[in-house]
Chains A and B, each alone.
Chain A
Amino acid sequence: MEIVNVDIKTLKPAEYNPRKASKSQYNDLKKSLKEFGFVDPLIVNSAESRKNIVIGGHFRLRVAIDMKFETVPVVYVDISDIEKEKELNLRLNFNQGEWDIDLLANIDEDLLKEVGWDDDELGKMFQLNSYGTDFDLPDGDKEPFQQITFTLADKQAELIKSSVGIAKKGNNADVFGNENSNGNALYRIVKEWAEQKT
């Protein structure tokens, strides 16, 4: 692996880089660079179409620019496919601090999974995109259906259940829009009983 010192002005941050850093992380890195210098090279693309795009080390580059470094150590990699470049960026940054969720959400979900995000984290991250603010609520009068609860002895319940089971096989007249087959069968039984009584 060849490390070369490169003019800092020639390096360009990747537009998609989703990594972000807090003020305290910034200060920590600044302190470290002051004390030890640049001991960890940046990873930079050498491919013609992506020449000098930084893949790993955005945060260090930012601090180095602020600290007026003129050159920084760089390891070049040749990756012409931007998707591969993004993957390497994610792999280099995974498990390292905070992320700009808005930028991260632009990256393919499958790639993030591949790099190591779990379903739960991704679910939380991406769900906002799939929801809106519109909804409907029923208006007008009460629905023309109701539930009735009865208390029955076990023997009574058995007879009613088996009778409802038989009545369900009959025709479906007089359902009044009800889709509950048990309710319709019970109505049929009671109606026949009422007709016989009158």
Chain B
Amino acid sequence: MGRAKDIILRVIPSRVANKFIRECHYSGRVVNTSTLHFGCFLDRCLHGVMSFGSPMIKKNMLGMVEGTGWNEMLELNRMAFDEYLPKYSESRCLSIAIRLIKKNAPHIKWIVSFADGCQSGDGTIYRATGFNLTQIKINNSLYRLPDGRVVNNLNMTGKYMLSDLAKRKDISSAWSYNKNAKIMGAKPIRGYQLRYIYLIDKSCKITVPILPFSKIDEMGAGMYKGKKITIKERNLRSKCKGSTSSPN
């Protein structure tokens, strides 16, 4: 684990977290529903941020774990780390964050997070931290705008429409994202989205099927640092380099 042991986690204000996420997250964008941000400090400086909040459409999520009350789950919706942090930092930070949630908000029973297998990775960190894989689906929700920005379909319509798009005269927040995407010339980004669930309260029961991690390779959903690559291939490469663990 090395220097990863020296990382300190603190609760930081959203203004600090959002600035870091805009600079270091591959999307360059923050999630406005985030309410809890952890800063990861090494050598007294901020090198990572994890943001938690309620899912945008919460009622669809609650049923995934039996008997979940309205405020009893969180979504980990942004995780960004810079290059300064050593190997294994991400899973260590996530473990500490979960411990702090358990201590400060004992009513939170579980956490959901999504790995972006279109642009980023298939969730190596979640697997290393003990999350359950509960869904691999083709992601139809991401679009690339003509200016290069990648947006979720929810950001092209309704109340979550991006402010600069909402100002445009040729599209409308009242129209479907499909219609707006066509008018703007936004192109869908094909790939997979992987859903992971972590039970803080181990007595809770996940109601959706739990998938074996091997399913990721079976479905061709493997991705690491934005490159399509199977988990098997990663493990082989890692062994060739003399390491017995999979890359983080």
Contacts and interface: CB of A to CB of B under 8 A. Distances in A.
Interface of A, helix, strand, loop or mixed by DSSP: loop
B83 to A, nearest CB: 15
Interface of B, helix, strand, loop or mixed by DSSP: mixed
A86 to B, nearest CB: 19
Nearest to A102: B44
Interface residues of B, number: 28
Nearest to A147: B159
Interface in B51-77: 69-72, 74
Given A137-B35, A137-B71, A147-B159, A128 B108 contact: no
Interface in B3-18: 8-12, 16
A146 to B, nearest CB: 12
B11 to A, nearest CB: 5
Contacts of A141: 69-71
Interface stretch (B99-107, B187-195, B197-205): B99-107
A25 B8 CA distance: 28
A133 B71 contact: no
A156 interface: no
B46 A135 contact: no
A101 B12 CA distance: 20
A136 B71 CA distance: 12
A124 B105 CA distance: 28
Contact of A128 (B35, B44, B100): B44
Closest 7 interchain pairs by CB? A131-B10, A139-B107, A137-B105, A142-B70, A151-B174, A101-B44, A124-B45
Interface of B: 8-12, 16, 35-36, 39, 41, 43-46, 69-72, 74, 100-101, 104-105, 107-108, 158-159, 174
